[in-house]
Amino acid sequence: MSRPVRPLAFAAFVMNTTGHIIQGTWRRPSAHQTDFNSLEHWVNLARILEKGRFDAIFFADVVGLYAPYRGDERKYFEAGLQVPSNDPSVLASAIAYATENLGIAFTASILQEHPFNFARRISTLDHASKGRIAWNIVTNYLPNASRNFGLEGLTKHDERYAWADEYVDVTYKLWEGSWEEDALRQDRESGIHAVYDKVHRINHEGPRYKVEGPHLVSPSPQRTPLLFQAGASEAGRAFAARNAEAVFITSPNIQAAARDTADIRARAVAVGRLPDDIRFFQGLYVVPAATEAEAKAKAAELDEWIDYDAQLSHMSGAIGIDFGHEDLDTPVGEIRTEGVQSIVGWIKDLVTDRPATLRDVAHYTATNTRIVGTPEQIADRLAQWQAAGVDGINLINAEIPGSYAEFVDHVIPVLRERGLVQREYRPGTLRQKLFGGGDRLPDRHPAARYRGAFTAQPVGR
């Protein structure tokens, strides 16, 4: 059955740091990524995105250094590669205050905060933003991050997803089950602020967490934030099929995107959800210009600024194997690691006519999902991604705010003419804007089973 044609959703893929995905371009005179410590830097970007009717600003994050490259972490500091790196959630309130419709998605690992406190912070932000918060659920793949939080080393891959299952279970219980819908009265005449018997403990006891409750925040506009997820391994896909409403993918080509989106949608159906319960956001970067020749010249000039050694160090550090002492023409071969398993398959998909090398890794991490051309050519290409099952684009930048300002000024008008981007925002929460089915999770989502589940456990028992 064919899926309905609708405008693509757009998110800006950023990180509260200098060097995020495309390394070295912060050195360009027109780039302002080095202003990441400035609140005004992010508020200004959010306003540009809202002008272009972007659906969300999407913050990546890490809570540790990547694995050593050439024996230590020197390259990351010298290249500004995700260090220093600031907490993105702190920016959410300011962005919410400065905008009216832009969704605010940020990454938070199950490693970095107890689920009770995290649920409280998310609910507070969802109230403050009038329901525009999204959580990108990630497990941790960095050994240094594990050690930063007191673990001996990296938890095995599939065990991290078992951990994530319990983590989200706790948050679902707090968000969906602790407060009944009409518990908060604020009745001046009777003097009843909240109805005692309509607020419940969750009494969760699991392998990692013991949480009594109740949730300390009354139901926010979405209750549960919009749920992003990005894992592409077997365990990650299964987790996404059960939990995610939006999946961030970095498929290396359109054919792989069609395969990846179809696979996760089929898994979602198998667990009782609908294929259209999940929106897929492909990571892409565009280089637009008035003519194709000008666009290619811009891309070539941009390539001169890219730090390919930093590109390789980023990939190397994420996988957890130090390629810094290897020749760039060394074949990648078979890589088995407790790091990001999905990256391994991604590398193999990039080069099909010969064994992929480390040089390919460095080159393709910066350029593979790049679209170079006129706004019309870019629109054509985005339509092809959409036809493959992609619902949205997580737009990568070489410069902030330039990459986004240029996209809004030159590409968005063409997309608008073709119906590939929304002309106006839909009223309501981020979930309502993206799905149109209401502010809350649908009943078929696993979190919904906790609605009314704790009515026999009022706070006084």
Asked if residue 318 belongs to a domain, the reply is: no
Predicted confidence band at 358 (pLDDT cuts at 50, 70, 90)? confident
Query: What's the CA angle centered on 433, arms 428 and 437, to 5 degrees?
Result: 85
Asked if residue 362 belongs to a domain, the reply is: no
**Contact, 102 vs 110, CB < 8 A?**
no
Q: What is the pLDDT of residues 216-261, one digit of tens each?
A: 999 999 999 999 999 788 999 999 999 999 999 999 899 999 999 9
Which pTM does this prediction carry?
0.93
Asked if residue 361 belongs to a domain, the reply is: no
Own/partner pairs, 399-402, CB within 8 angstroms, 24+ separation: 399/25, 399/28, 399/30, 399/31, 399/32, 399/33, 400/14, 400/31, 400/32, 400/33, 400/41, 400/45, 401/32, 401/44, 401/45, 401/48, 402/30, 402/31, 402/32
- Chain mean position to CA 226: 11
Asked if residue 377 belongs to a domain, the reply is: yes
User: What does the mean pLDDT of the chain come to?
Assistant: 93
Query: What's the CA angle centered on 91, arms 87 and 92, to 5 degrees?
Result: 115
Higher pLDDT, 324 or 378: 378
% of the chain exceeding 90 in pLDDT: 82
Indicate if the pLDDT at residue 151 is higher than 90: yes
**Contact, 9 vs 55, CB < 8 A?**
yes
Q: Find the length of the chain.
A: 461
Residue 128: φ, ψ to 5°? -65, -30
Spatial distance between the Cα atoms of 87 and 369, rounded to a whole number of angstroms: 27
Asked if residue 459 belongs to a domain, the reply is: no
Indicate if the pLDDT at residue 457 is higher than 90: no
List, as one string, the DSSP characters of 83-97: -SB--GGGGHHHHHH
Residue 105 corresponds to which amino acid?
A
Asked if residue 311 belongs to a domain, the reply is: no
Indicate if the pLDDT at residue 456 is higher than 80: no
List, as one string, the DSSP characters of 211-241: E----SSPPPSSSSPEEEE---SHHHHHHHH
For position 339, what pLDDT does the model report? 45
Asked if residue 326 belongs to a domain, the reply is: no
- Structure tokens given for 421: 């981007």
Q: What is the pLDDT of residues 404-437, one digit of tens each?
A: 999 999 999 999 999 999 999 999 999 999 999 9
Asked if residue 352 belongs to a domain, the reply is: no
Give the residue carrying structure tokens 């696979």.
263
Q: Going by C-beta distance under 8 Å and a sequence separation of 6 or more, which residues neighbour residue 14?
A: 20, 45, 57, 58, 59, 60, 397, 400
- Cα dihedral: 65, 68, 72, 73 (round 10): -30
- Number of folded domains in the chain? 1
Q: What is the CATH number of the domain that holds 84?
A: 3.20.20.30
Q: How far is CA 316 from CA 49, 66, 322, in A?
A: 32, 8, 6
Note down the domain range covering 240: 9-305+370-450
Highest mean pLDDT among 102-116, 150-164, 346-360: 102-116
